Chain A
Amino acid sequence: MTVLVNDLKVIVFQLLNKEYAVPVQNVQSIEKVMHITRVPGVPSHVKGVVNLRGVVTPIIDLRTRFGIEAGSFDEHTRIIIVTLDGREVGLIVDSANDVLDIPETSIEPQPNVVGSIEADFISGVAKIERRLLILLQLDKVLENVS
């Protein structure tokens, strides 16, 4: 007898050896790094804006947002364009190369370990085989800069 399990389809990306996941329905596209125009007077994690096919889109550096040391961009660096409540924002990540189905049963609430700023942005963790995926809480990540 099979039990109907609701799978969560996610995009997996890496950030300093850790794997994170965002729901696929929030992801608009994944872009290679392009020219980013700096915007003065905004918090440091807002890298600037890019021209995303004619739409000026703000870009957030997730490393800075999570308080991880900033790294330089290489050929794996990607910008994940996410949409939430009609807003389009790009997230800079080290690399993004996987789409996974996470069974609902394997999602656990985040462990009660306080340690990094990123704990505020996590909605849960999922263990799949030997991988540990951190599920991002996008509305917290995109919380207004002002």
Chain B
Amino acid sequence: MEMNQYLEVFIEESKDHLQNCNTQLLELEKNPEDLKIVNEIFRSAHTLKGMSATMGYEDLANLTHNLENVLDGIRNEKLTVSTDMMDVLFAAVDDLEEMITSIAGGGDGKKNVESTISRLAAIEKGEVLTEENSSNALQVKTEVSYDQFEQTVLHQSLEQGYHAYELTVALRDDCLLKAARVYMVFEVLEKVAEVVKSSPTVDQLEEENFDQHFTVTIVTKEDASFVEKSVMKVSEVEQAVAKKLDIAGFQAEAEAAVTILEADVPTAGAEVEQSNHPTVEKEIPKNQVANKTIRVNIDRLDVLMNLFEELVIDRGRLEQISKELNHGELNETVERMSRISGDLQSIILTMRMVPVETVFNRFPRMIRQLARDLNKQINLEISGQDTELDRTVIDEIGDPLVHLLRNAIDHGIESPAERAAKGKPETGTIDLRAYHSGNHVFIEIQDDGAGISKEKVLDKALSKGIVTEEQVQTMTDSQIYELIMASGFSTAETISDISGRGVGLDVVKTTIESLGGTITIHSTPGEGSIFSVQLPLTLSIISVMLTEIENEKFAIPLSSIIETAIVKNEEILHAHNQRVIDFRGKVVPLVFLNEVFDVNKEAEEDIHSVIIVRKGEKLAGLVVDSFIGQQEVVLKTLGDYLGDIFAISGATILGDGQVALIVDCNALIQ
């Protein structure tokens, strides 16, 4: 179908709108009085409705429509925001998200949303009831209210010579199958007229969510009595009254409504006034921003990156050739080209940077839900969400952060009662911050909860045999805290659904390390803990130390290197069948890379080139033949045919077009 080309745009934009709904709903929960927020959500929902209807996703359009009705109620101050209502709204947005995900995954976007719709409808109906209580006079007038679109339709049909009627149909009290009768009435109406709107809505009518009568707004060329007669032919219809609709009176009516509300609730009046304006004002700046960015498919960026990498390799060759030829003009041109491609490289790399916001965005909703599930009060503070990371890192970092946050809520923050007893505010605070420092990005999760109990951690670690009594003596506080990330460790007394699922923090640690990052823990008992994640800016281009063993080249990531050293044969000591050296007062085991990687070595040498690498607190010395130098390289995978190879994390292409393997230092340090 023709729609295919728009599908991608539709999915992207829908996701944006849903994200907006989510964020704004959370805002709304904090400031239930702020009608600007409601307007914002309404706009998103409205756009979504329009888009999904165009694309033919009925369920999606239907649900957004109902969502819109409720929002409209809030906007017009017919409904007041309550927690229950927020739950239903959130549930509706969740359903929408599920449908969009299904569409994105190639599905048809269909989902049974009846329960959510009926809940929304129930809320909307609540509106009618409360309204009845407040002012009966108003209810008669605005029993059927029309939005702008419907008003336009009515206006246009009038201009074309149609009449508009509000037809009130009453069914007999003993009518059993009300929905069936409604259906028949509609069938009759559709023959003689166009139905513009019904009150209650068609869905409610189908579910028999109404008393004995309902009102339908129609436009027709027939006169009122003919319509009445046709409808009366349906059996069990007691009465049908068509009332001519006074369209010119809409505006006056709306104004009157405001006046009445103002008279009724003088304090709320000011807000009603305000709420009418921001809708117009806010739309203008939004349009201006929209044109500054374009959407580019990530695959295309990857292709661009790949092509550029090839260019970099050829650049290397060209530089070499021009050096050999030593031709003045050629040298100049090559130099210029190198400079330009250097600029190009930084632009392409920044193009792949994504703000962490895209990951952080989903956390407020999650925290809210978890806090409710666990009966805790939690305030999530996010800062530095515009810090940028390469999208390869962004893609991977979400799950570990979710885990850490769940952990902070489940194990960190105490229950309100406990907190009150300790003299803390009942609402716990979780600080999620991201910032940039050097070649790294730090993401920290700080809670003001109970902190980590060193004794408990040690008891557990000892009983599980993760550490020995001896080791404990020499451990620093942060080393002890880091035990909770050791595999086979879980401090939760009772295994909860939230974070104690057996796969504990060790998974988080592994994931972060596989990204080339580290995680550290600081904690003060009674005051809370900080989990600090350090991540490299990018995964696709890394700095390495290029080394040579015989004729083979190996690259060692600079991030794990502490320093390089030259070691004489007699400085090598033997301990526990292992060769070690004394490095600045520390005993460091040596790893002979030629043995690990089966390189045929001809002669034993007296002097060894050693690279000291680090994994957490542990050190090791990697022995190579010679150092070539430091270089920025593009990380490539070895592909799935070769699978996992011990101590090799990937490959890279050097300036001369050869492939060099990248050493995985973490695997070499035990």
Contacts and interface: CB of A to CB of B under 8 A. Distances in A.
B639 A46 contact: no
Given A49-B651, A54-B309, A56-B653, A37 B660 contact: yes
Size range of the chain A interface in the assembly: 20 to 34
A58 B641 contact: yes
A145 interface: yes
B648 A40 contact: yes
A131 interface: no
Given A54-B310, A56-B637, A58-B642, A40 B657 contact: no
Interface string A130-141: 000000000000
Contacts of B636: 55-56
Contact of A40 (B306, B309, B645): B645
Contact of A145 (B637, B642, B648): B642
Contacts of B661: 37, 39-40
Contacts of A54: 306-307, 309-310, 313, 653
Interface string B298-317: 00000000110110010000
Q: Which 3 A-B pairs have the closest CB atoms?
A: A40-B597, A37-B659, A54-B310
Contact of A51 (B553, B637, B643, B659): B659
B658 interface: yes
Given A37-B651, A38-B552, A40-B648, A51 B658 contact: yes
Interface string A43-64: 0001011110111111000000
Interface of A: 34-35, 37-42, 46, 48-51, 53-58, 87-89, 142, 144-146
30 contacts: A35-B657, A35-B659, A37-B552, A37-B553, A38-B552, A39-B638, A39-B661, A40-B596, A40-B646, A41-B597, A41-B646, A41-B647, A42-B642, A49-B642, A51-B653, A51-B658, A54-B306, A54-B307, A54-B653, A55-B636, A56-B638, A58-B638, A58-B639, A58-B642, A87-B640, A142-B641, A144-B641, A144-B643, A145-B642, A146-B644
B426 to A, nearest CB: 55
A55 B309 CA distance: 10
Contacts of A41: 597-598, 645-648
B645 A39 contact: yes
Contacts of B641: 58, 87, 89, 142, 144-145
Contacts of B659: 35, 37, 48-51, 56
B376 to A, nearest CB: 47
Nearest to B646: A41
Contacts of B646: 40-41
A51 B657 contact: yes
Among A34, A40, A42, the one with the most B-chain Cβ atoms within 10 Å of its Cβ is A40
Given A49-B659, A54-B313, A42 B645 contact: yes
A42 B644 CA distance: 10
Nearest to A55: B636
B313 A56 contact: no
A49 B658 CA distance: 9
Contacts of B310: 53-54
Given A37-B661, A51-B658, A146 B639 contact: no
A46 B642 CA distance: 9
Given A35-B657, A49-B638, A51-B659, A145 B651 contact: no
A40 B639 contact: no
A39 B642 contact: yes
Contacts of A42: 642, 645
Interface in B265-310: 306-307, 309-310
Contacts of A51: 313, 653, 657-659
Given A53-B310, A54-B653, A144-B641, A35 B658 contact: yes
Contacts of B637: 56
Given A40-B596, A40-B598, A146 B651 contact: no
A53 B639 CA distance: 15
Contacts of B638: 39, 49, 56, 58
Nearest to B308: A54
Contacts of A46: 642
Interface string B629-641: 0000000111111
A89 B643 CA distance: 13
A80 B138 CA distance: 83
B400 to A, nearest CB: 27
Contacts of B599: 40
A58 B641 CA distance: 7
A143 B522 CA distance: 48
Given A37-B659, A49-B651, A88 B596 contact: no
Interface string B529-552: 000000000000000000000001
A88 to B, nearest CB: 7
Contacts of A55: 636
A64 to B, nearest CB: 16
Given A35-B658, A37-B661, 16 more contacts: A37-B658, A37-B659, A37-B660, A38-B552, A39-B648, A39-B661, A51-B659, A54-B307, A54-B313, A56-B637, A58-B641, A58-B642, A87-B640, A88-B639, A89-B641, A144-B643
Among A46, A50, A51, A58, the one with the most B-chain Cβ atoms within 10 Å of its Cβ is A51
A145 B638 CA distance: 13
Contacts of A58: 638-639, 641-642
Nearest to B593: A40
A87 B637 CA distance: 13
A55 B653 CA distance: 9
A104 B153 CA distance: 68
A58 B642 CA distance: 7
A130 to B, nearest CB: 37
A34 to B, nearest CB: 8
Contacts of A146: 643-644
Contacts of B651: 37, 49, 56
A56 B659 CA distance: 7
A50 to B, nearest CB: 6
Contacts of A35: 657-659
B320 to A, nearest CB: 15
Contacts of B307: 54
Nearest to B657: A51
Nearest to A38: B552
A39 B636 CA distance: 14
Nearest to B642: A58
Contacts of B642: 39, 42, 46, 49, 58, 145
Nearest to B639: A58
Nearest to A146: B643
Nearest to A36: B659
Contacts of A56: 636-639, 651, 653, 659
Contacts of B660: 37
Given A37-B659, A39-B661, A57 B639 contact: yes
Nearest to A84: B641
Among A54, A87, A89, the one with the most B-chain Cβ atoms within 10 Å of its Cβ is A54
A114 to B, nearest CB: 28
Contacts of A53: 310
